[in-house]
């Protein structure tokens, strides 16, 4: 096992409110690591710093042992760190085909070519087709994304992140808002991701977390409260009190 993504003493405050409180975190290669915590624990803030949407106040972030703390978002993607968003962030006027072709063309370094024809690029076509089939988007690839049902849009969201061929995939509440019936299909695609992709999963649904995660970190008030295997975390009294206790009230 080796670390693919690490934070060292990561710290973020918003005008006096500490959102990320000196977090040391390690994601191991091939793991499916869940990050859980009650609402407002700072999970999304943490992910936003990892991906460069927010700049940390202090501390460092390393991807494959290289410091990426100050790199722009798109460079992190090129280095193998892709994400999905809690609220769908899609290209509304595009079709799933176009969106996946876009991500693929950026990854293959075609994006800056103004005279390149997409349909004359066998490599791009093959890889785009592979992603569309893997995420079962082949039947709807020519429909505008905005017109797709929510579950399918969620599928496109994950497919687009995966199309960047990341070594680390951050899934921010992938099942949020997806109806129960479509949830299983969604999570089975997640489970079927190749083993060399390390996944950081942020999820509220404890069923999903305990079914898929190989390791769990509990974040409360921006601080790491506990970390361990699902069994260890489930038995941890501090977690039961701070997290599950609260859930029981809800």
User: What is the binding site for another protein (CB under 8 A)?
Assistant: 14-15, 51, 53, 72-74, 77-78, 82-83, 85, 89-94, 97-99, 101-103, 105-107, 110-119, 125-126, 128-130, 132-133, 138, 141-142, 160-161, 164
Count of beta carbons in the 10 Å neighbourhood of residue 42: 23
Q: Shortest distance, CB of residue 11 to another protein, whole angstroms?
A: 15
Structure tokens at 238: 């501090």
Please, which residue, 110 or 223, has the CB nearer to another protein?
A: 110
Please, which residue, 47 or 218, has the CB nearer to another protein?
A: 47
Residue 23 near residue 222, CB atoms below 8 Å: yes
Please, which residue, 102 or 216, has the CB nearer to another protein?
A: 102
Q: Shortest distance, CB of residue 92 to another protein, whole angstroms?
A: 6
Please, which residue, 146 or 247, has the CB nearer to another protein?
A: 146
Surface-to-core class of residue 151, CB atoms within 10 Å of its CB (0-12 exposed, 13-18 middle, 19+ buried): middle
What sign for the dihedral angle of Cα 44, 45, 46, 50?
A: positive
Q: Shortest distance, CB of residue 2 to another protein, whole angstroms?
A: 24
Q: Shortest distance, CB of residue 188 to another protein, whole angstroms?
A: 21
Please, which residue, 73 or 184, has the CB nearer to another protein?
A: 73
Residue 105 near residue 124, CB atoms below 8 Å: yes
Strands (E) across 47-180 are located at 58-63, 66-67, 81-83, 168-172
């Amino acid at each position: 096992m080796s670390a693919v993504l690490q934070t060292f003493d990561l710290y973020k405050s918003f005008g006096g409110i500490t959102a990320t409180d000196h977090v040391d975190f390690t994601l191991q290669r091939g793991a499916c690591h869940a990050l859980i915590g009650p609402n407002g624990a700072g999970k999304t803030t943490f992910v936003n710093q990892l991906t460069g949407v927010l700049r940390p106040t202090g501390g460092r972030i390393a991807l494959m042992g290289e410091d990426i703390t100050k790199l722009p978002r798109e460079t992190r993607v090129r280095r193998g760190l892709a994400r999905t968003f809690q609220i769908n962030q899609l290209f509304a006027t595009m079709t799933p085909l176009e969106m996946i072709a876009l991500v693929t063309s950026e990854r293959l370094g075609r994006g800056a070519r103004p005279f390149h024809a997409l349909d004359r690029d066998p490599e791009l076509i093959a890889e785009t087709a592979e992603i569309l089939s893997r995420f079962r988007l082949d039947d709807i690839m020519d429909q505008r994304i905005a017109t797709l049902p929510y579950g399918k849009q969620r599928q496109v969201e994950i497919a687009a992140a995966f199309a960047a061929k990341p070594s680390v995939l951050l899934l921010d509440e992938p099942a949020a808002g997806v109806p129960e019936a479509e949830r299983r299909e969604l999570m089975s695609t997640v489970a079927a991701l190749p083993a060399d992709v390390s996944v950081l999963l942020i999820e509220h649904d404890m069923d999903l977390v305990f079914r898929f995660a190989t390791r769990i970190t509990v974040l409360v008030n921006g601080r790491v409260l506990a970390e361990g295997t699902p069994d260890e975390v489930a038995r941890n009294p501090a977690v039961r009190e701070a997290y599950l206790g609260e859930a029981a009230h809800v």
